[in-house]
Structure 1
Amino acid sequence: MFNEKCVFAGSFDPVTTGHMDVIGKCAMMFNKVVVAIGVNNQKKYTFPLEVRLKMLQAACEKYSSVTVTTFDGYVADFLRKENTKFYVRGIRDGKDIEYEEKSFEFSVKLYPEMETLFVNCSKETKNVSSTLVKRLIKEGKPFEKYLPREALPVLKEFIK
Protein backbone atom coordinates (compact mmCIF):
# COMPACT_ATOMS: atom_id res chain seq x y z
CA MET A 1 0.00 0.00 0.00
CA PHE A 2 1.13 3.52 -0.79
CA ASN A 3 1.06 5.72 2.30
CA GLU A 4 -0.27 8.54 0.23
CA LYS A 5 -3.27 9.92 -1.54
CA CYS A 6 -4.34 9.50 -5.16
CA VAL A 7 -6.81 11.22 -7.44
CA PHE A 8 -9.15 9.36 -9.78
CA ALA A 9 -10.90 11.89 -12.01
CA GLY A 10 -13.53 11.57 -14.70
CA SER A 11 -16.86 12.87 -15.91
CA PHE A 12 -18.77 9.92 -14.36
CA ASP A 13 -21.67 10.53 -16.75
CA PRO A 14 -22.91 8.23 -15.15
CA VAL A 15 -20.73 6.32 -12.67
CA THR A 16 -20.48 2.65 -13.67
CA THR A 17 -19.38 -0.65 -12.18
CA GLY A 18 -16.18 -0.14 -14.17
CA HIS A 19 -15.46 3.10 -12.32
CA MET A 20 -16.23 1.38 -9.01
CA ASP A 21 -13.85 -1.46 -9.89
CA VAL A 22 -11.03 1.08 -10.19
CA ILE A 23 -12.11 2.99 -7.06
CA GLY A 24 -12.16 -0.23 -5.04
CA LYS A 25 -8.64 -1.09 -6.19
CA CYS A 26 -7.45 2.43 -5.32
CA ALA A 27 -8.97 2.11 -1.84
CA MET A 28 -6.84 -1.00 -1.30
CA MET A 29 -3.64 0.70 -2.50
CA PHE A 30 -3.88 4.19 -1.01
CA ASN A 31 -4.67 5.64 2.40
CA LYS A 32 -6.79 8.36 0.79
CA VAL A 33 -8.58 8.38 -2.54
CA VAL A 34 -10.05 11.56 -4.01
CA VAL A 35 -12.63 10.78 -6.67
CA ALA A 36 -13.16 13.99 -8.61
CA ILE A 37 -15.73 14.91 -11.21
CA GLY A 38 -14.03 17.14 -13.75
CA VAL A 39 -16.16 20.01 -15.00
CA ASN A 40 -15.50 21.07 -18.58
CA ASN A 41 -17.77 23.85 -19.81
CA GLN A 42 -16.90 22.90 -23.41
CA LYS A 43 -18.36 19.41 -22.95
CA LYS A 44 -22.03 18.43 -23.07
CA TYR A 45 -23.10 16.02 -20.32
CA THR A 46 -26.15 13.76 -20.21
CA PHE A 47 -26.60 14.09 -16.45
CA PRO A 48 -26.31 17.37 -14.53
CA LEU A 49 -23.34 17.77 -12.20
CA GLU A 50 -25.55 17.53 -9.08
CA VAL A 51 -26.95 14.16 -10.21
CA ARG A 52 -23.50 12.80 -11.09
CA LEU A 53 -22.18 13.97 -7.72
CA LYS A 54 -25.07 12.34 -5.80
CA MET A 55 -24.66 9.05 -7.71
CA LEU A 56 -20.92 8.99 -7.05
CA GLN A 57 -21.30 9.91 -3.37
CA ALA A 58 -23.87 7.14 -2.87
CA ALA A 59 -21.67 4.59 -4.64
CA CYS A 60 -18.53 5.56 -2.68
CA GLU A 61 -20.13 5.78 0.75
CA LYS A 62 -18.92 2.27 1.67
CA TYR A 63 -15.26 3.36 1.42
CA SER A 64 -14.09 5.34 4.46
CA SER A 65 -10.90 6.39 2.67
CA VAL A 66 -12.71 7.84 -0.37
CA THR A 67 -13.87 11.43 -0.73
CA VAL A 68 -15.89 12.69 -3.67
CA THR A 69 -15.57 16.22 -5.03
CA THR A 70 -15.62 18.29 -8.21
CA PHE A 71 -13.04 20.47 -9.91
CA ASP A 72 -12.64 22.57 -13.00
CA GLY A 73 -9.45 23.30 -14.83
CA TYR A 74 -6.50 21.04 -15.43
CA VAL A 75 -6.01 17.73 -13.64
CA ALA A 76 -2.38 18.65 -12.97
CA ASP A 77 -3.46 21.78 -11.10
CA PHE A 78 -6.01 19.78 -9.12
CA LEU A 79 -3.36 17.22 -8.13
CA ARG A 80 -1.12 20.00 -6.89
CA LYS A 81 -4.03 21.51 -4.93
CA GLU A 82 -4.72 18.10 -3.38
CA ASN A 83 -1.02 17.77 -2.52
CA THR A 84 -0.53 14.48 -4.34
CA LYS A 85 1.36 13.37 -7.41
CA PHE A 86 -0.58 10.14 -8.05
CA TYR A 87 -3.18 10.27 -10.82
CA VAL A 88 -5.04 7.01 -11.41
CA ARG A 89 -6.55 5.99 -14.74
CA GLY A 90 -8.66 2.91 -15.34
CA ILE A 91 -7.55 0.91 -18.35
CA ARG A 92 -9.80 -1.40 -20.36
CA ASP A 93 -7.58 -2.00 -23.38
CA GLY A 94 -4.65 -0.74 -25.45
CA LYS A 95 -6.68 2.16 -26.85
CA ASP A 96 -7.15 3.52 -23.34
CA ILE A 97 -3.40 3.41 -22.68
CA GLU A 98 -2.66 5.21 -25.95
CA TYR A 99 -5.20 7.93 -25.16
CA GLU A 100 -3.95 8.38 -21.59
CA GLU A 101 -0.30 8.60 -22.66
CA LYS A 102 -1.15 11.48 -25.01
CA SER A 103 -3.04 13.28 -22.24
CA PHE A 104 -0.17 12.68 -19.82
CA GLU A 105 2.33 14.45 -22.09
CA PHE A 106 0.48 17.74 -21.62
CA SER A 107 -0.27 17.31 -17.90
CA VAL A 108 3.31 16.48 -16.96
CA LYS A 109 4.44 19.80 -18.46
CA LEU A 110 2.15 21.53 -15.96
CA TYR A 111 3.17 19.31 -13.04
CA PRO A 112 6.46 17.43 -13.65
CA GLU A 113 6.18 15.44 -10.38
CA MET A 114 2.89 13.91 -11.52
CA GLU A 115 2.77 10.12 -11.80
CA THR A 116 0.01 8.45 -13.80
CA LEU A 117 -0.83 4.99 -12.51
CA PHE A 118 -2.76 2.66 -14.79
CA VAL A 119 -5.19 0.32 -13.05
CA ASN A 120 -6.47 -2.56 -15.13
CA CYS A 121 -10.19 -3.12 -15.06
CA SER A 122 -11.30 -6.61 -14.15
CA LYS A 123 -12.58 -8.84 -16.93
CA GLU A 124 -16.12 -8.38 -15.57
CA THR A 125 -16.04 -4.62 -16.09
CA LYS A 126 -13.66 -4.11 -19.01
CA ASN A 127 -16.54 -3.75 -21.49
CA VAL A 128 -18.54 -1.37 -19.30
CA SER A 129 -18.62 2.32 -20.17
CA SER A 130 -20.79 5.34 -19.47
CA THR A 131 -21.49 5.48 -23.21
CA LEU A 132 -22.89 1.93 -23.10
CA VAL A 133 -25.13 2.78 -20.14
CA LYS A 134 -26.47 5.93 -21.82
CA ARG A 135 -27.19 4.00 -25.02
CA LEU A 136 -29.09 1.28 -23.12
CA ILE A 137 -31.14 3.89 -21.25
CA LYS A 138 -31.97 5.70 -24.50
CA GLU A 139 -33.03 2.42 -26.14
CA GLY A 140 -35.15 1.42 -23.14
CA LYS A 141 -33.03 -1.67 -22.49
CA PRO A 142 -31.90 -3.01 -19.09
CA PHE A 143 -28.88 -1.08 -17.83
CA GLU A 144 -28.98 -1.67 -14.08
CA LYS A 145 -26.24 -4.31 -13.93
CA TYR A 146 -23.71 -1.77 -15.20
CA LEU A 147 -24.33 0.75 -12.41
CA PRO A 148 -23.43 0.47 -8.74
CA ARG A 149 -26.68 -0.43 -6.98
CA GLU A 150 -26.24 2.48 -4.55
CA ALA A 151 -26.40 4.93 -7.46
CA LEU A 152 -29.52 3.44 -9.06
CA PRO A 153 -32.13 5.31 -6.97
CA VAL A 154 -30.52 8.65 -7.82
CA LEU A 155 -30.37 7.86 -11.54
CA LYS A 156 -33.90 6.42 -11.67
CA GLU A 157 -35.29 9.49 -9.90
CA PHE A 158 -33.67 11.71 -12.52
CA ILE A 159 -34.80 9.74 -15.60
CA LYS A 160 -38.41 9.13 -14.57
Structure 2
Amino acid sequence: MSTPSEPRHDGSAPDLDAIVGERRQLINLGYRLLGSLAEAEDVVQETYTRWYAMPREQQEAIESPGAWLTKVAGRICLDVLGSARARRERYVGAWIPEPLPDRGEWSGGGGAGGGRAPADPADQVTLDESVNMAFLVVLESMTPAERVAFILHDVFRYPFADVAEIVGRTPAA
Protein backbone atom coordinates (compact mmCIF):
# COMPACT_ATOMS: atom_id res chain seq x y z
CA MET A 1 0.00 0.00 0.00
CA SER A 2 1.38 3.38 -0.92
CA THR A 3 1.32 6.45 1.27
CA PRO A 4 0.45 9.98 0.23
CA SER A 5 3.28 11.71 -1.55
CA GLU A 6 5.65 13.68 0.62
CA PRO A 7 5.13 17.43 1.00
CA ARG A 8 7.36 19.63 -1.15
CA HIS A 9 9.28 22.46 0.51
CA ASP A 10 11.25 23.73 -2.48
CA GLY A 11 8.30 25.31 -4.32
CA SER A 12 8.77 23.02 -7.34
CA ALA A 13 5.90 21.76 -9.47
CA PRO A 14 4.41 18.37 -8.64
CA ASP A 15 6.13 15.59 -10.54
CA LEU A 16 3.91 13.74 -13.03
CA ASP A 17 5.17 10.38 -11.70
CA ALA A 18 4.21 11.38 -8.15
CA ILE A 19 0.69 12.31 -9.27
CA VAL A 20 0.16 9.19 -11.38
CA GLY A 21 1.80 7.08 -8.65
CA GLU A 22 -1.18 7.80 -6.39
CA ARG A 23 -3.55 5.99 -8.77
CA ARG A 24 -3.41 2.62 -6.99
CA GLN A 25 -4.15 4.17 -3.59
CA LEU A 26 -7.01 6.20 -5.06
CA ILE A 27 -8.53 3.12 -6.69
CA ASN A 28 -8.15 1.22 -3.40
CA LEU A 29 -9.88 4.04 -1.56
CA GLY A 30 -12.68 4.31 -4.10
CA TYR A 31 -13.27 0.57 -4.27
CA ARG A 32 -13.37 0.14 -0.53
CA LEU A 33 -15.78 3.05 -0.14
CA LEU A 34 -18.06 2.28 -3.08
CA GLY A 35 -17.84 -1.50 -3.44
CA SER A 36 -17.56 -1.25 -7.22
CA LEU A 37 -14.38 -1.22 -9.27
CA ALA A 38 -16.08 0.64 -12.13
CA GLU A 39 -17.28 3.40 -9.80
CA ALA A 40 -13.85 3.56 -8.15
CA GLU A 41 -12.19 4.07 -11.53
CA ASP A 42 -14.73 6.81 -12.33
CA VAL A 43 -13.86 8.54 -9.04
CA VAL A 44 -10.14 8.38 -9.82
CA GLN A 45 -10.75 9.76 -13.31
CA GLU A 46 -12.80 12.65 -11.89
CA THR A 47 -10.10 13.32 -9.28
CA TYR A 48 -7.40 13.55 -11.95
CA THR A 49 -9.69 15.72 -14.09
CA ARG A 50 -10.00 18.19 -11.23
CA TRP A 51 -6.23 18.13 -10.65
CA TYR A 52 -5.38 18.89 -14.27
CA ALA A 53 -8.15 21.51 -14.55
CA MET A 54 -6.39 23.60 -11.88
CA PRO A 55 -4.01 26.32 -13.02
CA ARG A 56 -0.32 25.45 -12.68
CA GLU A 57 0.11 28.03 -9.89
CA GLN A 58 -2.54 26.30 -7.74
CA GLN A 59 -0.94 22.90 -8.34
CA GLU A 60 2.43 24.28 -7.26
CA ALA A 61 0.90 25.79 -4.11
CA ILE A 62 -0.27 22.35 -2.89
CA GLU A 63 2.31 20.98 -0.46
CA SER A 64 1.26 17.34 -0.70
CA PRO A 65 -0.40 16.40 -4.01
CA GLY A 66 -1.09 12.85 -2.77
CA ALA A 67 -3.01 14.16 0.22
CA TRP A 68 -4.95 16.58 -2.01
CA LEU A 69 -5.85 13.78 -4.43
CA THR A 70 -6.97 11.51 -1.56
CA LYS A 71 -9.08 14.28 -0.04
CA VAL A 72 -10.78 15.05 -3.34
CA ALA A 73 -11.35 11.35 -4.11
CA GLY A 74 -12.88 10.86 -0.64
CA ARG A 75 -15.26 13.76 -1.20
CA ILE A 76 -16.24 12.51 -4.65
CA CYS A 77 -16.93 9.10 -3.08
CA LEU A 78 -19.21 10.79 -0.54
CA ASP A 79 -21.13 12.41 -3.40
CA VAL A 80 -21.40 9.09 -5.26
CA LEU A 81 -22.56 7.31 -2.10
CA GLY A 82 -25.28 9.93 -1.63
CA SER A 83 -26.57 9.32 -5.13
CA ALA A 84 -26.04 5.54 -4.83
CA ARG A 85 -28.36 5.44 -1.83
CA ALA A 86 -31.18 6.74 -4.02
CA ARG A 87 -30.41 4.15 -6.72
CA ARG A 88 -30.35 1.29 -4.19
CA GLU A 89 -33.72 2.30 -2.77
CA ARG A 90 -35.21 1.29 -6.12
CA TYR A 91 -33.20 -1.94 -6.29
CA VAL A 92 -35.29 -5.06 -5.75
CA GLY A 93 -33.72 -7.60 -3.43
CA ALA A 94 -30.73 -7.54 -1.12
CA TRP A 95 -27.76 -5.54 -2.31
CA ILE A 96 -24.64 -7.68 -2.50
CA PRO A 97 -21.32 -5.87 -2.93
CA GLU A 98 -19.13 -6.59 -5.91
CA PRO A 99 -16.42 -9.09 -4.89
CA LEU A 100 -12.80 -8.01 -4.89
CA PRO A 101 -11.52 -8.79 -8.41
CA ASP A 102 -7.89 -9.83 -7.87
CA ARG A 103 -6.44 -10.18 -4.39
CA GLY A 104 -2.81 -9.88 -5.53
CA GLU A 105 -3.46 -6.55 -7.23
CA TRP A 106 -4.99 -4.94 -4.13
CA SER A 107 -2.75 -6.29 -1.40
CA GLY A 108 0.50 -6.24 -3.33
CA GLY A 109 0.72 -10.05 -3.25
CA GLY A 110 1.57 -12.18 -0.27
CA GLY A 111 -0.81 -13.39 2.39
CA ALA A 112 -1.98 -11.94 5.63
CA GLY A 113 0.58 -12.53 8.34
CA GLY A 114 0.10 -13.80 11.81
CA GLY A 115 -2.49 -16.54 11.84
CA ARG A 116 -2.40 -20.16 10.69
CA ALA A 117 -3.51 -20.65 7.11
CA PRO A 118 -5.91 -23.49 6.25
CA ALA A 119 -4.09 -26.55 4.88
CA ASP A 120 -6.16 -26.72 1.68
CA PRO A 121 -5.70 -23.80 -0.77
CA ALA A 122 -9.40 -24.00 -1.65
CA ASP A 123 -10.24 -23.37 2.02
CA GLN A 124 -7.99 -20.29 1.99
CA VAL A 125 -9.76 -18.95 -1.10
CA THR A 126 -13.17 -19.54 0.48
CA LEU A 127 -12.08 -17.84 3.70
CA ASP A 128 -10.64 -14.86 1.80
CA GLU A 129 -13.83 -14.41 -0.22
CA SER A 130 -15.95 -14.63 2.93
CA VAL A 131 -13.88 -12.01 4.74
CA ASN A 132 -13.91 -9.69 1.71
CA MET A 133 -17.67 -9.99 1.35
CA ALA A 134 -18.25 -9.48 5.08
CA PHE A 135 -16.06 -6.37 5.03
CA LEU A 136 -18.06 -4.90 2.14
CA VAL A 137 -21.38 -5.70 3.83
CA VAL A 138 -20.21 -3.95 7.03
CA LEU A 139 -19.12 -0.92 4.99
CA GLU A 140 -22.53 -0.84 3.31
CA SER A 141 -24.23 -0.57 6.71
CA MET A 142 -22.27 2.63 7.53
CA THR A 143 -23.18 6.16 6.55
CA PRO A 144 -21.03 7.66 3.79
CA ALA A 145 -19.07 9.86 6.23
CA GLU A 146 -18.49 6.90 8.59
CA ARG A 147 -17.29 4.81 5.67
CA VAL A 148 -14.80 7.44 4.52
CA ALA A 149 -13.55 7.96 8.08
CA PHE A 150 -13.15 4.22 8.69
CA ILE A 151 -11.27 3.56 5.45
CA LEU A 152 -8.97 6.57 5.73
CA HIS A 153 -8.09 5.94 9.37
CA ASP A 154 -8.09 2.16 9.76
CA VAL A 155 -6.95 1.12 6.29
CA PHE A 156 -4.78 4.02 5.10
CA ARG A 157 -3.62 5.14 8.60
CA TYR A 158 -4.57 8.81 8.25
CA PRO A 159 -4.63 10.67 11.60
CA PHE A 160 -8.06 11.58 12.98
CA ALA A 161 -7.39 15.31 12.47
CA ASP A 162 -6.83 14.78 8.73
CA VAL A 163 -9.87 12.50 8.45
CA ALA A 164 -12.03 15.09 10.24
CA GLU A 165 -10.95 17.77 7.78
CA ILE A 166 -11.72 15.53 4.80
CA VAL A 167 -15.22 14.59 5.96
CA GLY A 168 -15.98 18.05 7.33
CA ARG A 169 -16.46 17.06 10.97
CA THR A 170 -14.58 17.46 14.24
CA PRO A 171 -11.88 14.94 15.20
CA ALA A 172 -14.03 13.85 18.16
CA ALA A 173 -16.91 12.94 15.85
- Mark yes or no: TM-score above 0.5: no
Higher CA-based Rg: 2
Greater share of residues in strand: 1
Higher RCO, 1 vs 2 (CA within 8 Å, ≥6 residues apart): 1
After TM superposition, the score normalised by the length of structure 1 is: 0.25
After TM superposition, the score normalised by the length of structure 2 is: 0.24
